[in-house]
Amino acid sequence: MNTKQLQLFLTLAGAGLLLITITPFLLLSSYVQPQSDDFTIHAVMQNYGFFEAQVQWYLSWTGRYFAHFIASLIHPMSYGVFGGFKVISIAWILVFTFAAWYFVSAFTSKWFSLFPLALLLAVYFWQLPSPAEAFYWIPATMSYQLGLVLQMLFFGLFQRQPTSNIGKAILVFLALMIPGTSEINLIVFNGVLASILWFKFLNRDSIPKQLLLLFGLVIMMSLVSVLSPGNSARSATMGEINAQLPLHDLAFTFKGGLSQTKILLFNLFGRSPLLLFTFILILIRPSLNILQRTRITFFQICLFWGAALALLVMLHLPFIYQTGTVDLPGRVLNVISLYFIIVWAIGTLITSDYFIGKNLQLNPVLTSVAVGIIFAYCLLQMVFIPNKIEHAWGDKFSGQAAAYQHEMLLREQFLNASKGKSVVIKELQSKPSSIYLTDIEPDADNWKNQAYVRYYGLKSLVLGDSTGVLVP
């Protein structure tokens, strides 16, 4: 086997792994149903109109100006098309995959990028904290995964060092919009850009004026997001809800951040094939152009790993500090998990470059045998060890997703026919965790129930033992 044959083998293996990874999530898109927040977004849009709704959200709830703008723009209920949730889910999984490919291909050749892309997405999807919030719930998708997509596009374009005005304008646009997706993406983006600047300073490289301009824009828009009146209002509301918890307790915050970081790392290294795929990554390293033009010292490698782990812990702290709870939502962990996987891959390549050297050639026989053995092992793991890819396949072919869709359609028919009435809804029997997120509550005054009441024109709505109309 020569090098060209090896690259063809790896490309085919990457295509197979990529299909196994994303196909069940694409198939599940056909069963997606609107969640409680979708009805709330629709109500705000109905009350205020598109542009005034953006102002209301910024002033009263959140500084995520770009996330809410995009969510409002594409939301299917704004157009009266419930089937649009399925289309958006499919489109978003494909957009996410494309953004990941665009980022990975900036560090590889165009034709060799499929294999490392498949490794990246397989590890990420394997232990994806919340698939429902990643791809099937528009408010979370546009606040968290959107920020990931924009950052992968930004750094993929930045690595290519565009010289055209169009490329530079796209970088400026992304720098302006990423801080307006979510606070966690804001922290990651600022942290990575600051690390690049610091690295160039330590390496005594000239710092491009464009990079300084972009970083200045990011800081400015980060302040626009963080200092929004809506953020203050939301923090006050969360403080009232969690008043009995250790709010703003620094000792509790750091202890919780460390414990949650330990859990995240255990899940990635103990419950996913990250270490095995890391070995493959080192084997194919000669075909990757990771920072080939950059001089790396041992001190800088230590600094890289220290900064990466410190930022990983810090990403847990804002939520714990504000809420007094260490249980971060899956949508936040989705961002943190991908951040660490990418940083781990880049750090592994940089470190191996330093200790092994840059001038090695691919060993086609060794690489193909190792890839074959590891892939076979991982496929066995995928079948017999619980993981989110296997679970997505199970939700599809066990009938859970179809049963969930059927229950939701029957519920929708009943609620449409119950306008002006007080109704009780039976709890869902099928809750496929890959796409299901939340439901109404037994308390009629709960905000989730009220969102349904406004949309369907009901008098009241509660969760009970059976579906029917309440007699006053």
Q: What would the DSSP string read from start to end of 307-375?
A: HHHHHHHHTTHHHHHHHS-----HHHHHHHHHHHHHHHHHHHHHHHHHHH-S-----HHHHHHHHHHHH
- For residues 310 and 408, membership in a common domain is answered with no
Whose CA is closest to 456, among 72, 69, 82?
82
Domain final residue pick, 350, 367, 396 = 396
- For residues 391 and 402, membership in a common domain is answered with no
Amino acid symbol at 407:
E
- In terms of phi and psi (left: phi > 0; alpha: psi -120 to 50; beta: otherwise), the region of 161 is left
Positions of the chain with pLDDT under 70: 1-2, 289-295, 357-363, 471-472
Domain final residue pick, 396, 417, 445 = 396
The structural domain count of the chain equals 2
pTM to 2 decimals? 0.93
- For residues 387 and 404, membership in a common domain is answered with no
pLDDT of residue 296: 77
Cα 130–Cα 313–Cα 194 angle in degrees, nearest 5: 105
CB 119 within 8 A of CB 277: yes
- For residues 416 and 274, membership in a common domain is answered with no
What residues pair up with 426 in beta bridges, in sequence order?
464
- For residues 143 and 227, membership in a common domain is answered with yes
Distances (CA, A) of 303 to 20, 199, 289, 338, 443: 37, 9, 21, 21, 52
CA dist., res. 40 & res. 455, Å (int) = 9
CA dist., res. 292 & res. 340, Å (int) = 22
Structural domain that includes position 292: 3-396
- For residues 309 and 343, membership in a common domain is answered with yes
pLDDT of residue 394: 92
CB 313 within 8 A of CB 258: yes
- For residues 161 and 252, membership in a common domain is answered with yes
- For residues 367 and 413, membership in a common domain is answered with no
- For residues 309 and 457, membership in a common domain is answered with no
- For residues 325 and 358, membership in a common domain is answered with yes
CA dist., res. 192 & res. 249, Å (int) = 27
pLDDT of residue 119: 92
Backbone angles phi, psi at 163, to 5 degrees: -110, -15
- For residues 51 and 154, membership in a common domain is answered with yes
Coil/strand/helix, residue 136? helix
pLDDT of residue 435: 95
- For residues 213 and 360, membership in a common domain is answered with yes
Domain final residue pick, 379, 396, 413 = 396
